[in-house]
């Protein structure tokens, strides 16, 4: 082969080497990404319990989901995580990054404090927060409340409080990432812009509105998308913080991915589970397309 190769032109040689280098990756990506993705679509149109034969049932799984009140509750929960979590995290992250950017000494240490929770394992943190939320005398929060004579709160045991209680550690864990991205965006704004604005007599509110926020738009768009995707895919935390990994009480905290997991691996209903993954895929795709549009408009 080497003699054959040495007789080829340089361009031809390059092409041959490129395909040699790409051969294993192409097989891998086809077998472990593309084919499974196609299979997920095909499974969503089938009835199958993993052991028997697969039956094609058309859109029956989707119709079944549309008629299931629990599925609508799950979808509602998923968007509630998004609708509450997205504005709160982006607001907090921006305020923190904005203040951090103005700190002269100790910025590295402060940034580290905010960033550290981002690197933790969700399973471990779910346990820590689950412990915090326990009734007194075990739970930290209820212990503090009783110190101030405030009534005990059920937190994870109440259908009304459970979802926000799960969301708090989710926001906490993702905040460091968002702060780091905002901070990098803020540092990329040339100091001279601020100085020029100050010379022109602009106040700090005006500088924030007219200079900082518009120039930070790419960071905002990027975080809007990544945070949305993260919240829509929430699973590890809910599975580990709720009793028995059920997403309870009464499905009050159950997100879409937990519902997929239960359909597939508790009820062995691969068709309905796959139909839900397709729905998740469509939602995430819509958000990614939104990102492309927002970035193109700039």
Partner 1 sequence: MKIVRPGRVIGFTLLALGGIVMIMPLLFMLVTSLKSNSEIYELHVLPREPTLGNYIEILTHSHFARWFLVSFVVAAVSTVSVLFFDSLIGYTLAKFRFRGSGVVFVAILSTLMIPTEMLVIPWYVMAKSMGWLDSIWGIMFPGMMTGFGVFLMRQFFAGVPDELLDAARIDGLGEFEIFWKVALPLVTPALSALAIFAFLGNWTAFLWPLIVTTSPNLYTVPVGLASLSGEFQTDWEMIMTGSSIATIPTLLVFILLQRNIVNGITLSGLKG
Which residues ranging from 208 to 267 are in contact with partner 1 (CB under 8 A)?
218-219, 222, 226, 233, 235-236, 239-240, 245, 257, 260-261, 264-265
Tokens (6 digits) for 128: 């820590």
Residue 22 to residue 197: CA distance in whole angstroms: 52
Q: Closest CB to partner 1 among 160 and 269?
A: 269
Cβ at position 118, least distance to partner 1 in Å? 9
At 105, is the secondary structure helix, strand, or coil? coil
From 50, 33, 59, select the one nearest 263 (Cα to Cα): 50
Number of residues that bind partner 1 (CB under 8 A): 90
Considering only 56, 72, 91, 127, the residue that binds partner 1 (CB under 8 A) is 127
Considering only 93, 167, 176, 221, the residue that binds partner 1 (CB under 8 A) is 176
Residue 288 binds partner 1 (CB under 8 A): yes
Q: Closest CB to partner 1 among 15 and 160?
A: 15
CB 169 within 8 A of CB 241: yes
The burial class, CB within 10 Å (0-12 / 13-18 / 19+), for 226 is middle
Residue 100 binds partner 1 (CB under 8 A): yes
How many angstroms from the chain centroid is the CA of residue 14? Answer: 40
Residue 70 binds partner 1 (CB under 8 A): no
Show Cβ contacts of residue 207 under 8 Å, excluding neighbours closer than 6 positions.
194, 197, 198
CB 236 within 8 A of CB 123: yes
CB 240 within 8 A of CB 231: no
Cβ at position 98, least distance to partner 1 in Å? 9
Q: Closest CB to partner 1 among 81 and 114?
A: 114
- Which residues on adjacent β-strands are paired with residue 55? 47
- Map residues 10-49 to x or -, x wherever contact with partner 1 holds by CB under 8 A: -x--xx-xxx-xx-xxx-xx-xxxxxxx-xx--x------
- Which residues on adjacent β-strands are paired with residue 46? 56
How many angstroms from the chain centroid is the CA of residue 172? Answer: 13
Residue 155 binds partner 1 (CB under 8 A): no
Cβ at position 128, least distance to partner 1 in Å? 5
The burial class, CB within 10 Å (0-12 / 13-18 / 19+), for 93 is buried
Q: Are strands 46-47 and 55-56 parallel, antiparallel or unpaired?
A: antiparallel
Cβ at position 156, least distance to partner 1 in Å? 14
Considering only 140, 189, 211, 290, the residue that binds partner 1 (CB under 8 A) is 140
Cβ at position 277, least distance to partner 1 in Å? 4
Residue 82 binds partner 1 (CB under 8 A): no
Q: Which stretch binds partner 1 (CB under 8 A): 57-65, 172-180, 193-201, 206-214?
A: 172-180
Q: Closest CB to partner 1 among 211 and 287?
A: 287
Q: Closest CB to partner 1 among 77 and 277?
A: 277
């Amino acid at each position: 082969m080497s003699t054959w190769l040495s007789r080829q032109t340089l361009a031809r040689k390059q092409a041959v080497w490129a395909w040699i280098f790409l051969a294993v990756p192409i097989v891998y990506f086809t077998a472990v990404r593309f084919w499974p993705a196609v299979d997920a679509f095909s499974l969503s149109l089938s009835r199958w319990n993993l052991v028997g034969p697969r039956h094609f049932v058309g859109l029956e799984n989707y119709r079944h989901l549309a008629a299931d009140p629990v599925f609508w509750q799950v979808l509602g929960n998923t968007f509630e995580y998004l609708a509450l979590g997205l504005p709160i995290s982006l607001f907090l992250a921006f305020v923190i990054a904005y203040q951090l950017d103005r700190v002269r000494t100790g910025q590295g240490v402060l940034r580290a404090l905010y960033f550290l929770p981002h690197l933790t394992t969700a399973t471990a943190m779910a346990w820590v927060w689950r412990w915090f939320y326990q009734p007194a005398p075990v739970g930290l929060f209820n212990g503090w409340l009783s110190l101030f004579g405030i009534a005990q709160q059920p937190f994870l045991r109440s259908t009304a409080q459970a979802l926000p209680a799960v969301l708090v550690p989710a926001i906490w864990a993702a905040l460091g990432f968002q702060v780091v991205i905002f901070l990098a965006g803020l540092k990329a704004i040339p100091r001279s812009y601020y100085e020029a604005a100050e010379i022109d007599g602009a106040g700090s509110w005006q500088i924030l509105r007219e200079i900082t926020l518009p120039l930070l738009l790419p960071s905002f768009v990027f975080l809007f998308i990544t945070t949305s995707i993260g919240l829509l895919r929430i699973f590890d935390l809910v599975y580990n913080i709720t009793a028995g990994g059920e997403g309870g009480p009464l499905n009050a905290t159950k997100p879409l991915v937990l519902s997929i997991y239960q359909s597939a691996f508790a009820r062995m209903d691969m068709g309905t589970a796959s139909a839900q993954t397709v729905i998740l895929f469509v939602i995430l795709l819509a958000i990614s397309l939104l990102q492309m549009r927002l970035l193109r408009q700039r």
